[in-house]
Amino acid sequence: MAEALARHFGHEAVSAGTHPGSTVAANTLTVLEEIGVNTDGLRPKSVDDIETEGWGMIISMGCGVECPMLPIAEDWGLEDPVGLPMDVYRSTRDTIIENLKRLSA
């Protein structure tokens, strides 16, 4: 969700997790498409499989995990919405958008 939103707002971004699923959650795709965000090509990625050098900032969504090897600039402390109601997905989406706008200001 964060990767698609960041790109939608003009940022270069890659998103990854510590325990990625095999597919992007259907509810994630739904709440992104509700606001016209392109979801083509989104796929779960592991933090172990992405290059962490060269980014201006690494942000943790929170979700109760720690990544001691990553230089995390901010932790947004978001709850992982997987398995929760659609309103939690929408709230997560909206919080990510608010934080992206704050960073762009």
pTM: 0.89
pLDDT per residue over 32-85, tens digit each? Answer: 999 999 999 999 999 888 888 888 898 988 865 666 677 888 889 998 899 999
For the chain, the average pLDDT equals: 90
- Residue 103 in this model has a pLDDT that exceeds 80: yes
100, 15 contact by CB (below 8 A): no
Q: Are 17 and 24 in contact (CB under 8 A)?
A: no
Gap between the Cα atoms of 88 and 58, Å rounded: 23
Mean pLDDT of 12-16: 91
Domain ranges of the chain: 2-104
- The listed CATH number (3.40.109.10, 3.40.50.2300, 3.40.190.10, 3.50.50.60) that belongs to domain 2-104: 3.40.50.2300
Is there a contact between 17 and 47 (Cβ–Cβ < 8 Å)?
yes
Which pLDDT score, from 0 to 100, does residue 104 have? 87
For the segment 81-98, what is each residue's pLDDT rounded down to a tens digit?
999 999 999 999 999 999
What does the pLDDT read at residue 93? 98
pLDDT at residue 86, as a whole number: 97
The residue count of the chain comes to 105
